[in-house]
Structure 1
Amino acid sequence: MLRIPTAQPHALYGTAATRAIEAAAAAALPPHTLMQRAGQATARLALALAPHARCIWIACGGGNNGGDGLEAAALLHRAGHPVAVTWLGRPDALPPDARRSWQRARDAGVPFIDTPPALDPQDLCVDALLGIGLGPSSRAPDPRLLQWLEHLRTNAAPTLCVDLPSGLIADTGQWAPGFAPTRPPASQSHTLSLLTLKPGLFTAHGRDAAGTVWLDDLGVPAPHAPTAWLAGAPHGAARAHASHKGSFGDVAVVGGEGLHARGMGMTGAALLAASAALHGGAGRVMAALLDCGATAAFAQQLEIMLRRVDALDLARLTVVCGCGGGAAVTAVLPQVLREARRLVLDADALNAIAADGALQRLLQARGPATMLTPHPLEAARLLGTDTATVQADRLAAAQALAGRFGCTVLLKGSGSVIAAPGHTPLVNPTGNALLATGGTGDVLAGLAGALLARMPGDAFTAAAHACWLHGAAADAWPPARALTASRLAQALRPG
């Protein structure tokens, strides 16, 4: 059994791939073997999480996930641990393996109860209601199931979810209709993913729902190609002593529209991106402001060189374009798209491209040394849809964008997704809610530019490393201290 995530990459398998692995294993093993192994894994982790529990409440559904819970209940009860089971099934409607586990629980004398018990913090709840047996179009849930879920989420004891938190969709990390919690959980959550890790545990609502994730592969290899990968930590080579600033690439940030008719200016976004590129290890960093008069903001960052856009040798540079660009970025985008050797497009550059077919065609002609870093609304504009559709399947949205424009896409959010043509998508495991503040996206774009400058032609790896390091900097930040974007930029470490 392995606790997830670590700094190592992990394969993620969607529902279809997981079911194929399960079916192949079931065909090769004696009947009931997988469910017995699942029950054993659940019982082991339950005891590790709550060794002094006075009550282990196991809420079991009427399918195979409930069978896993019943198997665990039989094992725990036989070993003398205090177990109580609520069960939604009917013996005559159970799948064969689940029926055998139900019979084993009955034969062991497991107490079956009708109402969830009162629990204390040292006790444990086990959610074995649904597992992966639920999709976005499933029928309305049993009212008792929803009542038990509410009790799981609101009582004082920690919860162990078997395979998935009930109601979470394995492929997307979205809640099925009617299952979204109405308030944050009252206690700690754990999820024991069985056979495979599922993408939905790590993106969208998955990270909040799953809590600490564990994996038990039940002794079954996974021969199928993964649906996605959970990204691992970058392994950067040490810098050679005989390096010079030209060894690590030149980054130019194009953005920072000054004050306009509505009294708004965004020079700070360009400064944040440039600062991130500098702290992220770029050899030289230039800032080409779209308002050449707004240079005072750079007085405290002396290492950043100011340039006019028309003075940049775009064919030799890695360009980060769009941070704080406002409407002014539209005028420079055609040249940037045609001439920049390597390019990171963010914020207002993405909005301008979404609104202009000619700019979209220029982007499509660029090739792979290009990275888009949209948040969900920007991604929706580029795809001609809405944010809800993007968030409903973040992996699919990122892959659709990558396919449409032929470049790397870093779709930001909880469990950021990195996709590119010819690559299995990545889900980033680092980062936290401290990043939910203005300017952190500009920092990510600047860091991505610094890494792309050092990885010519490998925008996918640059995006993955930038996303991991950006999130890791937030994870290392003291939770009691506010994390501003400027502090985040200064906390970055070169990959």
Structure 2
Amino acid sequence: MSSGPASALPAAPQRLPRRQGPAEGLPLHDSALLRRGEAEAARALPPHALMARAGHAVARLGRALAPHARQAWVLAGAGNNGGDGLVAARLLRAAGLPVSVWLAAEPQAGDACWALAQARAAGLAVSAGGPPQPPEGLGPDDLVIDALLGLGLSARRPPEGPVATALAALEGLPAGILAVDLPSGLAADTGSCAGPAVRARWTLSLLGLKPGLWTAAGRDHAGTIWHDDLGVALPATASTPRLLDAPGCAGCWPDRPHTAHKGSQGDLWALGGAAGMSGAIELAARAGLAAGAGRVHVLRLDPTAAPPGHPALMTRAPEALRGEALARATVVAGCGGGAGVGAWLPALIAGAPRLLLDADALNALATDPALAQGLRTRTAPAMLTPHPLEAARLLGCTTEAVQADRLAAARQLAQRYGAMVVLKGSGSVLAAPDGRSAINASGNAALASGGTGDVLAGWIGGLWAQGLDAWDALRLGVWSHGAAADAWQAARGPGQPLDALRLIEALQNLPRG
């Protein structure tokens, strides 16, 4: 498709989360597959058609997002991302919006050369060379388009030269920035930044969605994410990461028939709460109760601790979890467990049909090869819920290495320990030993308070106890935990922290189904 009237354009980009998707969630494509898909589509379409579609999508979305803009400033690189920006600049100018363009370098070949020639032929003023200068009078209603790098960034090398100068010029601008495909400086596959990166108000992801938009630094840099597939269907397999969002999780809630009773809704046993840390295991137990587990038992490692503050929670000695009780239990172990929790793990790993290890149970696992071997050889499903530091201990690496490629770290953990994993953090990453993986789209910084991780462990355990498949329990638990924080923030505005007890209330108030 070449440029033409608006009626000939592809469908408008979609804001995410978007329409009902497949049950497993929308696919997230890595940069290697995206480059192959782009090359194949370009060969199958008329010359320059794919770039024309991309430019149309950018121009249409930019006009919709900044309807009162008096001018637009486009910063373009020398590659295809810059070509997309040049097409968009030409179309915005044709629609009557004053546009100025700064070009980092002259393109040398391909569609980007065509886009530049078309822009100049249309009378668009393009400034090439020299430091970028924002146009005079650029205001908050105006539009800035970042078309500098896109996929053309090495995850290990920071932007340099004119592009680095342009990134500095974009800092602190009053106008909203629309990033084309990716905020420049953000790595598509990991969400890491090797140097400075654009903080966009919006990002239009072209062809496929990129994992890096959703995890690590991605959420802070991408702003609101939109997607346009440009009419190209990219392949996805069972091992393609998926986006964990509302459409993909809506069908996972456990059934609760009219004939349900506490004995039919599963038994959750929460083991932890060493001296001085009894609150952690109570938060996990309360969350499991709120999730709908029929009976919740608290196994405190500190025998002198006061009884739980919730009357529906039952206190037991750790020795009670054996025999028939263990054979039917869902166990959450480790919250506030201290060093003593490790002594209880061999029996749990050997006998619990459903086992979730968190916090100090993970630290014990990281330091005891026998526990790790037992976990790898068990046939029943297990879950690990580490934050980045715990993940680093489990992998024998640094926290920085984990955060540099969160998806790879979660997958490595799942393979090494034979367990399902959620690597917590911005854009929590899920991975299973069979190769499935997902990145969570819900959640925000309101969860950055003590005890919210204990709530997550108990909440997942409570869902799992009711008979859900392990993967469904994990992804529903992670997504709904974030969704509760999103609902809290929507009601109160950003910046309001969400403490653990109010998080449990927010989880109870989420609509199910």
TM-score range, shorter-chain basis?
A: over 0.9
Paired with 1:447 and 1:82, the residues of 2 have a C-alpha distance of: 53
Paired with 2:108 and 2:294, the residues of 1 have a C-alpha distance of: 64
Q: Partner letter of residue 147 of structure 2?
A: A
Partner of 2:151: 132
Alpha-carbon shift at residue 288 of structure 1 (Å): 0.4
Alpha-carbon shift at residue 96 of structure 1 (Å): 1.4
For the pair 1:267 / 2:278, whether they are aligned, the reply is yes
Partner of 2:437: 425
Match of 1:98 among 112, 117, 123: 112
Partner of 1:261: none
Match of 1:468 among 479, 482, 490: 479
Alpha-carbon shift at residue 139 of structure 1 (Å): 6.6
Match of 1:58 among 40, 52, 74: 74
Partner of 1:110: 124
Q: Give identity over the alignment, percent.
A: 53
Paired with 2:159 and 2:482, the residues of 1 have a C-alpha distance of: 37
**Closer, same or farther: CA 352–446 of 1 in aligned 2, 3 Å:** same
CA shift digits 1:107-153 (9 cap, x unpaired): 011122352224100101000000011122347511x3223222323
Q: Is the 8 A contact 1:376 1:412 kept in 2?
A: yes
Match of 2:501 among 463, 486, 493: 486
Match of 1:172 among 166, 181, 190: 190
Q: Is the 8 A contact 1:278 1:450 kept in 2?
A: yes
Alpha-carbon shift at residue 454 of structure 1 (Å): 2.0
Partner of 2:313: 304
For the pair 1:149 / 2:167, whether they are aligned, the reply is yes
Q: How does 1:287-302 map to 2 (within 5 A)?
A: 287-296=298-307, 298=308, 300-302=309-311
SS of the residue corresponding to residue 318 of structure 1 reads strand
Alpha-carbon shift at residue 368 of structure 1 (Å): 4.8
Q: Is the 8 A contact 2:145 2:180 kept in 1?
A: yes
Partner of 2:209: 197
Alpha-carbon shift at residue 179 of structure 1 (Å): 2.0
Paired with 1:431 and 1:232, the residues of 2 have a C-alpha distance of: 11
Partner of 2:95: 79
Match of 1:160 among 154, 178, 196: 178
Partner of 1:69: 85
CA shift digits 1:420-444 (9 cap, x unpaired): 0224211111110000001000000
Partner of 2:457: 445
Match of 2:427 among 400, 412, 415: 415
Partner of 1:121: 140
State the Cα RMSD in Å: 1.6
The gaps in structure 2 that reach 5 residues or longer are 1-12
Paired with 1:443 and 1:31, the residues of 2 have a C-alpha distance of: 54
Alpha-carbon shift at residue 237 of structure 1 (Å): 5.4
Match of 2:290 among 279, 290, 300: 279
Q: Is the 8 A contact 1:290 1:325 kept in 2?
A: yes
**Closer, same or farther: CA 72–396 of 1 in aligned 2, 3 Å:** same
SS of the residue corresponding to residue 126 of structure 2 reads coil
Question: Structure 2 length as normaliser, TM-score?
Answer: 0.90
Paired with 2:218 and 2:331, the residues of 1 have a C-alpha distance of: 34
Paired with 2:288 and 2:84, the residues of 1 have a C-alpha distance of: 50
Q: Is the 8 A contact 2:101 2:126 kept in 1?
A: yes
SS of the residue corresponding to residue 503 of structure 2 reads helix
Paired with 1:380 and 1:129, the residues of 2 have a C-alpha distance of: 34
Paired with 2:100 and 2:264, the residues of 1 have a C-alpha distance of: 64
Q: Is the 8 A contact 2:158 2:185 kept in 1?
A: no
SS of the residue corresponding to residue 258 of structure 2 reads coil
Q: Which moved more, 1:308-317 or 1:110-119?
A: 110-119
**Closer, same or farther: CA 139–486 of 1 in aligned 2, 3 Å:** closer
Question: Structure 1 length as normaliser, TM-score?
Answer: 0.93
Q: Is the 8 A contact 1:419 1:460 kept in 2?
A: no
After TM superposition, what 4+ stretches of structure 1 lie above 4 angstroms from structure 2?
Answer: none
**Closer, same or farther: CA 482–392 of 1 in aligned 2, 3 Å:** closer
What number of residue pairs does the alignment pair up? 477
CA shift digits 1:358-413 (9 cap, x unpaired): 11111112235110000011011111111111111111100001011111001100
**Closer, same or farther: CA 139–304 of 1 in aligned 2, 3 Å:** closer
Paired with 1:483 and 1:408, the residues of 2 have a C-alpha distance of: 27
Q: Is the 8 A contact 2:395 2:413 kept in 1?
A: yes
Q: Partner letter of residue 64 of structure 2?
A: A
Q: Partner letter of residue 364 of structure 2?
A: A
For the pair 1:337 / 2:346, whether they are aligned, the reply is no
CA shift digits 1:149-180 (9 cap, x unpaired): 223231100000000000100000001x2224
Q: Partner letter of residue 97 of structure 1?
A: D
Partner of 1:387: 399
Paired with 1:151 and 1:5, the residues of 2 have a C-alpha distance of: 31
Paired with 2:255 and 2:329, the residues of 1 have a C-alpha distance of: 23
SS of the residue corresponding to residue 209 of structure 2 reads coil
**Closer, same or farther: CA 192–13 of 1 in aligned 2, 3 Å:** same
For the pair 1:434 / 2:443, whether they are aligned, the reply is no
Q: Is the 8 A contact 1:280 1:447 kept in 2?
A: yes
Paired with 1:461 and 1:439, the residues of 2 have a C-alpha distance of: 23
CA shift digits 1:452-487 (9 cap, x unpaired): 11235x322211000011011111113355411111
SS of the residue corresponding to residue 402 of structure 1 reads helix
Q: How does 1:209-224 map to 2 (within 5 A)?
A: 209-224=221-236
Alpha-carbon shift at residue 419 of structure 1 (Å): 0.4
The gaps in structure 1 that reach 5 residues or longer are 259-264
Partner of 2:386: 374
Match of 2:272 among 255, 259, 275: 255
For the pair 1:229 / 2:238, whether they are aligned, the reply is no
